[in-house]
Amino acid sequence: MSRVPHPLLVLALVSVFAVGACSSGDSGTATEAVRVVAAVDAVDVLDERTVIDVRTSEEFAAGHVAGAININVEAADFREQIAALDAEDAYLVYCRSGRRSALAADQMAEAGFSDIIDAGGLEALAEAGALIE
């Protein structure tokens, strides 16, 4: 008498093989350059990184993390602006809610940046203790 494997076991095995098949095995890929962290963890490393606010200049002027620079991810020249930065430095990006910071982090990784933290949104950073100016 043969046993039929449990459906969840089959699903788990298929998932493992599917993920493995999608992985190229290359080290240093763009996705490895980006770490998404909780705001409380991001606040702990603000002084160790170049902090980039990727919102509009109007949003930036209304309040931003102390010491942050403003590079609008939706600006036509975003790629040119980040090209002027040292891709070997450590960066932390944030926006209002986390959508634009994810876009910026992905574009920076594609441009060769190797150490990027996506800290999500400004409100969460402020609640976690980030100094806002």
- Annotation marks residue 22 as catalytic: no
**Of the listed 42, 54, 95, 116, which one is catalytic?**
95
CA distance 31 to 69: 23
Contact 68, 117 (CB under 8 A): no
CB atoms under 10 Å from CB of 49, counted, come to 18
Residues forming the active site: 95
